Chains A and B, each alone.
Chain A
Amino acid sequence: MQRYIIVRGFHALITLFAISIIIFALTRATGDPTDVMLPPEATIDEVERLRDYWRLDDPLHVQYLIYIGNVFTGNLGESVKWPGKTAGELILQRMPATIKLTVVAMIVSVSLALPLGILTAVKKDTMWDVGGKIFALLGQAVPNFWLGIMMVWILAVHWDLFPTSGKGDGGWDGIHHLILPAFALGAFNLAAGLRLSRSAMLDVLDSEYVKMARVKGLPEWIIIWKHCLRNAALIPLTYFGIQFAGLITGSVITETVFAYPGVGLLAIEAIRSRDFQVVQSVVVVFAFIYVVVALLVDVLYAYLDPRIRLT
């Protein structure tokens, strides 16, 4: 187990190192990095400050060391669009909103996908099942930004059930503002999770021990709740574990649709005003989160399932 964690941790470090090199190289690859990192209307003063900050007049390997040092100490550069703020401050300030959105989206999709998947499996070949299939197919094909806009149009504008955008004032208002974005963000995973838990449940229902339980004459609800549920839930839960980090991509789009002030919207606002240091910092932070979450998930699996450790 220890060996496994060390090897996986080492791989994670290599990945982070490679990401830093890629982003570093991309910004320096095309002639003058100040062209990429600052908007065209930047003043000479700003250009000079940037040159100083990243030591752009030094040789490349020195620049890289400065860069890596800055990244690890959290000095990710100064914003141009929001003068006086560093990229790190901006991200920290917006991070809680994004985490909240992602977690709620996850809860929404898991808590709907599992029961619906099990329901459609138990009621196979009925209206429930066909409805579930159609729902799953649509959910995996609908563009989530369009779904978000349509929900705003119908639920927020026409019926006035939800606010159209923003994040509210905390408490109930905050939750109220989260429902539509969380659903739009979780829709794809909800559909995929429904399909997975349906097929997992069908496999379990077809297994020998369930047949045995039926032969013993147990009531159907005990078979489903006590014998099937736990075994069937494993596969979809694994899927959700893997997908959690993938929600980051979705959060950028969802935050843009609902003007929800998280890190994703920050990145989009920054790229629109060519505030590249902020963009670059968001990418570094998101990649870091992804690598750490993936590492944790792997270690957790190895802990739960000894077969993984041995390979």
Chain B
Amino acid sequence: MAAIDEIAIPVRRSGRLSRIWATARRYPIFPMAVLVLVLALPGIFAPVITDTWLQDPLEGRVTERLMPPVWQEGGSWDHPLGTDKVGYDIASRVIHGARVSLIVAGVSILTGGFVGTTLGLIAGYYGGWVDHIIMRLVDIKLSIQAVLLALVLVGVLGPGFHTVIIVIALVLWVRYARLVRGETLSLKNQDFVAKARVAGASSGRIIVRHIFPNVVNTIIVLATLEVGQVILLEAGLSFLGVGIPRPTPAWGLMVADGRDLIVRAWWVAFFPGMAILMTVLSMNLLGDWLRDKLDPKLRNV
């Protein structure tokens, strides 16, 4: 038997590249660093930066329209990443855009996560017709795609922060509901739940004090994995004009503004898009890492 194994498995030498890769995966210093740089720091210090150096993200200077980034001819340190067609400062708006993305992602994930987790706990614990109804709701939600939902809700409620957050929360709750329901189904048949019940705990108490703590890790991992997708979704909706309304500095909107200018002024669309790419990339890496640490069985979710 041992002989077969020795023959059968070719020994692979791991090169330096893959060792670097492996280290990078184990300690997500790189994604953390990028994340802090692109998202957290500017998000927190945005007002300070615009007070002391860059112009306000909502101040357009007519005389300084379509200025290129500082390293190109005609650029200046007043506008390190150039300006757009209204004279908005791109750098200032990219920095403030981080705030917009953070707020939308945070609020919608909290809302969707709360609703989904609650419904998932209820569906999994009580089962029967309650479970049936909640799972049908999941089916119904799945058949209405996010962008279509946004189109209808923008038509009815009008564009704005609240509409974007409602749309994204409506998209998100489904995954929490399914995942938490599955976990609850397996947890509720375990000994500690039976013992709690024998000890006289009510259903509500069992759910909140005994089952919920056991699914918290799963929820945290899922939430982290979703931040990147939520930022992409919000940017996509804003790009289409059914997300954050003008003139708020949202990354998706800025890319939309730059679309028709791409030949004359590439920087208008390029930098906000890069900000999205970097943020989502590092959020995804961070989420993968957290999942492997806290909850490896989520690998296929």
Query: Looking at the complex, which one of B13, B17, B139, B143 makes contact with A130 (CB distance below 8 Å)?
Result: B17
Check A6 for interface membership: any CB of B closer than 8 A. Answer: no
For B, the interface residue count at a CB cutoff of 8 angstroms equals: 55
Nearest CB in chain B to that of A147: its residue? B273
Kindly state whether residue A104 has any CB partner on chain B within 8 Å: no
Report the Cα distance A230→B255, complex, angstroms. Answer: 42
Query: What separation, in Å, do the CA atoms of A137 and B232 have in the docked complex?
Result: 14
A291 touches B255 (CB 8 A): no
A252, B153: Cβ atoms closer than 8 Å: no
Q: State whether the Cβ of B160 lies closer than 8 Å to any Cβ in chain A.
A: no
Contact indicator per residue, chain A 109-131, by CB within 8 Å of chain B (1) or not (0): 00000000000000011110110
- Known contacts A29-B156, A215-B4, A283-B151; A143 and B18 CB within 8 A of each other: no
Query: Once the chains are docked, how many angstroms separate the CA of A282 from the CA of B146?
Result: 13
Instruction: Flag if A271 contacts B154 (CB, 8 Å).
Output: yes
Q: In the complex, are the beta carbons of A279 and B155 less than 8 A apart?
A: yes
* Among listed B35-43, B47-55, B259-267, interface-contacting one: B259-267
Chain B residues whose CB sits within 8 angstroms of the CB of A130 once the complex forms = 17-18, 21
List A residues 265-307 near B (Cβ within 8 Å). 267-268, 271-272, 274, 276, 279-280, 282-283, 286-287, 290-291, 294
A249:B146 contact, CB within 8 angstroms: yes
> In the complex, are the beta carbons of B143 and A268 less than 8 A apart?
no
A135 CB within 8 Å of chain B: no
Complex Cα gap A133–B8 (Å): 26
- Least Cβ–Cβ distance between B146 and chain A, in angstroms: 6
Q: Which A residues lie within 8 Å of B10 (CB)? A: 214
A201 within 8 Å of B (CB atoms): no
Question: Bound complex: CA of A246 vs CA of B14, how far in Å?
Answer: 38
Contacts of B114 in A (CB 8 A): none
**Are A141 and B263 CB-contacts (below 8 A) given A283-B151, A287-B144?**
no
Q: Is the CB of A30 within 8 A of B18?
A: no
Q: Does the CB pair A19–B21 fall under 8 Å?
A: no
A92 to B14, CA, bound (A): 56
Chain B contacts with A in 1-34, Cβ cutoff 8 A: 4-5, 7-10, 12-15, 17-18, 21
